[in-house]
Structure 1
Amino acid sequence: MKNLLLMLLSLISIRISAQDLVKGKVRNEKGEPLEKASIYIPNSSRGTLTDNEGNFMLGNLPEGNFTLVISSIGYELLATTITPAQRNRLLQIDLKTKSTGLNEVVVREPDKGGWLKWGKSFMDAFIGTSSFARYCLILNKDKIHFVHDRENALLIAYADEPIQLENRALGYAVTIDLTEFVLQLDNGVTDFQFYTRYTPLEGTEDEIVTWKENREFAYEYSLQYFLTLLAADKFSSKYELHQLIVTENIEKQRVQRAIRNNNDWKKMPRDTVRYYETVLGQPDRETQQSPEPVTFDQIARRSGTSTLVQYRDYLLVRFRRKRTPAEYQLHLSEKMNTGKLKPNQVVQHVSNETPVSELLLLDNAVLEIDQDGYFLSTQLYCNGFWGWWEKLATRLPVEYRP
């Protein structure tokens, strides 16, 4: 009976393992196997390398559909969706040779001495300016190149190979496949897309204790934690959500049209000129906050193991109990002192000393969140607290839990 029980347990174990595998072979365009290609689930610590025959096998998979990244130096990165039907089947993956490291819209050669000129701008926009960022080191910064588009006031960055980041604030070695980085130099807005793989660092007992504390702190303030609770409809005790509806300033548009049609508008009656000048000083758009907090059913719905989120314009997210970190308040004060932020914006983003963020889904996009809080979208933009906080210095593997 004991042997039978052991055999049954073994069969169950084998069956579970077989169902929780993705395996395949990676080749180049000539059909030759690619050795040491990186296979991983993005933003996690789950990954492997191909052997000398290009074969790989990866377990510990998420439920439902998930993204699998295949990366090899000198080849175009491939991010593909794996469905439950593809598990335990042999995948044939062919990578294309990378033609250039530049984004297709870039035609100029990279700036000479690029890191000396642009390294700090890149680090601030990509790694962040929080206290954690001071403990982050890029090990192969010579592989990162920059193009300054003066005409459009843009800074474009790309890398010859995965960026190797050592984050000694959180205790991770992070491999970053950077696919897009564009910094708007006039307003600091950054568009970037990347895939990361995490490997825990080895440290002393004191370092391990510090890393544990820092990880818990980073997680409690993270967008990932919010999305995990949102997907489970358990966010209301920690966050208050409101919809921000953006409306165009129709009167300002009317005045602008009137001025364009009358070059001598300043010769009009004094009261009219004053009124026009007052309207022209108004913002182009106005936002109106929903009076009542938003509920799960108003912005989200279930789809298998995922949650689909969609809303109009902006979603304002306010922490209920967490205090705004002092370094973020200092960051806002510095922006206000340099004229990059108006006083009323500071009040908006530091309301009652709790962090406030705005989430924008471009083009009426749908945000798909899995049960771990993982999402893959180039349509989600963060403003406010998360616009400052959500950088590489503070990000954790998606499977992390305190």
Structure 2
Amino acid sequence: MKKGLYIVCILFTIQTFSQQLIKGKVSSKTNIPLEGASVFFNNTTIGALTNDKGEFELPVRNNNTYTLVVSYLGYKTYQKQINTLNTEYLTIQLDEDNELLDEVEIPKTKYDDEWKYNLARFKKVFLGRTKLAEECIIQNEKDLHFDYDAKTNTLTAIARKPLQIKHKGLGYLITYDLVDFSLDHQKVFFSGFAQYKNLRKSIRKKWKENRLKAYNGSQMHYLRSLMDKSLEEDGFVVNQFRRVRNEARPTEKEIQFAREYIKLQGGVVRFSNRNATPKTKLDSAYITLRKARELPKFRDYLYKSNIPYEEMISYEKDIPYLDFKDYLMIVYTKEPEEENFVKGMFGKNKRKAQNVQTSNLVLLKGKAQIDPSGILLDPNAAFQEEYWGFEAFANMLPLDYQPIKE
């Protein structure tokens, strides 16, 4: 999923940062200045509106790589990676948008029970199920339109306007321009542009505490600690495991055959049928589907504990890459699991909460480039499971967040 989090070196006292201004001008292709255009660094609290001359200034406190986003009604959204070391004046010309969302053929939304059900599913996977998610309010829910494809069991969402999310737990008002959202079975993907603003000039103690708690053990925290070579000190234990197909579970071909055979026989799948020894082909088909339901597709085999820094990262021309074999099991030892994670998606799990948080990480494209700040440049290059998968948008922090180390 696109959750880009860009931040520079680990400096824990704000006073040590030197502030600089990124300046520029926004106009149309015909050089007409655009007043009131929104200019911000994606997923940060750094943003401004252009003045009557189309000019803007963005104050930054560090040298970093951010994605600059410029949006203006009637024009296509502009985005470009900017290194704040480059302080040259930015001249940005926007293209007119001849295919505005309102002109795209989107069926009229019916705010019926089906829409309410899809909204609940959307919020559960987009905002997440954490305690912080309970303090997130989407203020313009009715700008969301949902489509469900029963054949592929996929839910997609479109937002006619940027979502306005009031996060009372972290103290932010977040404007989120949703670009893509899809939920396929239990796999979720979403991407967009986020602009964070503090709800108040003075940050409440509760917000400071919640922000630090959201940061601790997060993927952002892990990657910064990895780059800083401080994993053990910061509470991370990283193990390595291999994932193989569970030979005790029927193959997809066998499962499909069983379904078709039961259908041809006019039967209905009843998982209450616990026959262990099949007497007929129909019994065998029932047992196949029961095994498919009860047995995991894969088995994980841990084969290395406390893997060293060198086996998680590689360099090409001084450019760092997250680079490892198989899967990483990343254990954060300084915080326990939340009860909502233990209960599971449907609230049926009954095990006790562990005193550590365990997440799995797999690379999807061989390796993933890490920004000098310690953030993956391509968020889609890796897939996360378990606790990081549980912590969704509501637990994400702006890229310019820095914890204060006591």
For normalisation by structure 1, the TM-score amounts to: 0.75
Separation in 1, partners of 2:328, 2:55? 44
Separation in 1, partners of 2:312, 2:213? 28
Q: Secondary structure at the match of 1:225?
A: helix
Query: CA separation of 1:29/1:157 partners in 2, compared to 1, >3 Å: closer, same or farther?
Result: farther
Moved more, 280-289 or 136-145: 280-289
Tell whether the 8 Å contact from 1:111 to 1:148 is kept in structure 2 after alignment. no
Query: CA separation of 1:116/1:74 partners in 2, compared to 1, >3 Å: closer, same or farther?
Result: farther
Match of residue 241, structure 2, among 218, 241, 244: 244
2:300 alignment counterpart: 287
Deviations 1:23-69 (A, max 9, x none): 33323455533322222112211111222332223231642533212
2:212 alignment counterpart: 216
Separation in 2, partners of 1:391, 1:305? 32
Tell whether the 8 Å contact from 2:333 to 2:355 is kept in structure 1 after alignment. no
Tell whether the 8 Å contact from 1:231 to 1:373 is kept in structure 2 after alignment. no
Deviations 1:262-289 (A, max 9, x none): x9xx999xxxx9xx99998865443322
Separation in 1, partners of 2:78, 2:300? 39
Q: Secondary structure at the match of 2:67?
A: strand
Deviations 1:289-323 (A, max 9, x none): 23232222111135799742122342211112322
More relative contact order in 1 or in 2 (CA 8 Å, sep 6+)? 2
Tell whether the 8 Å contact from 1:231 to 1:369 is kept in structure 2 after alignment. no
Which amino acid is 2:304 matched to? Answer: P
Deviation of residue 234 (structure 1)?
Answer: 0.9
In structure 2, stretches of 5+ residues that fail to align are 1-17, 262-277
Residue 187 of structure 2 corresponds to residue 192 of structure 1: no
1:7 alignment counterpart: none
Query: CA separation of 1:335/1:94 partners in 2, compared to 1, >3 Å: closer, same or farther?
Result: farther
Tell whether the 8 Å contact from 1:224 to 1:374 is kept in structure 2 after alignment. no
Tell whether the 8 Å contact from 2:368 to 2:377 is kept in structure 1 after alignment. no
Separation in 2, partners of 1:399, 1:89? 22
Deviation of residue 376 (structure 1)?
Answer: 4.7
Which amino acid is 1:357 matched to? Answer: S
Residue 203 of structure 2 corresponds to residue 201 of structure 1: no
Residue 325 of structure 2 corresponds to residue 328 of structure 1: no
1:9 alignment counterpart: none
Q: Secondary structure at the match of 1:131?
A: coil
Identity of aligned residues (%): 23
Separation in 2, partners of 1:255, 1:119? 32
Query: CA separation of 1:131/1:384 partners in 2, compared to 1, >3 Å: closer, same or farther?
Result: same
Residue 126 of structure 2 corresponds to residue 130 of structure 1: no
Pick the structure with more helix per residue.
Answer: 1
2:58 alignment counterpart: 58
Query: CA separation of 1:90/1:214 partners in 2, compared to 1, >3 Å: closer, same or farther?
Result: closer
Q: Secondary structure at the match of 1:363?
A: coil
Deviation of residue 361 (structure 1)?
Answer: 2.3
Tell whether the 8 Å contact from 1:308 to 1:368 is kept in structure 2 after alignment. yes
For normalisation by structure 2, the TM-score amounts to: 0.74
Map 1:2-401 onto structure 2 (within 5 A): 20-60=20-60, 62-83=62-83, 86-97=86-97, 99-101=99-101, 109=107, 111-113=109-111, 116-184=116-184, 187-202=185-200, 208-237=204-233, 238-248=235-245, 283-301=296-314, 307-331=320-344, 334-336=347-349, 353-371=355-373, 373=375, 375-392=377-394, 394-400=395-401, 401=403
Tell whether the 8 Å contact from 2:241 to 2:329 is kept in structure 1 after alignment. yes
2:270 alignment counterpart: none
Query: CA separation of 1:251/1:137 partners in 2, compared to 1, >3 Å: closer, same or farther?
Result: closer
Deviations 1:154-212 (A, max 9, x none): 2211222221111111111111121111112xx332100122221111289xx812222
In structure 1, stretches of 5+ residues that fail to align are 1-15, 338-345
Which amino acid is 1:379 matched to? Answer: A
| RMSD (Å) for aligned C-alpha atoms | 3.8
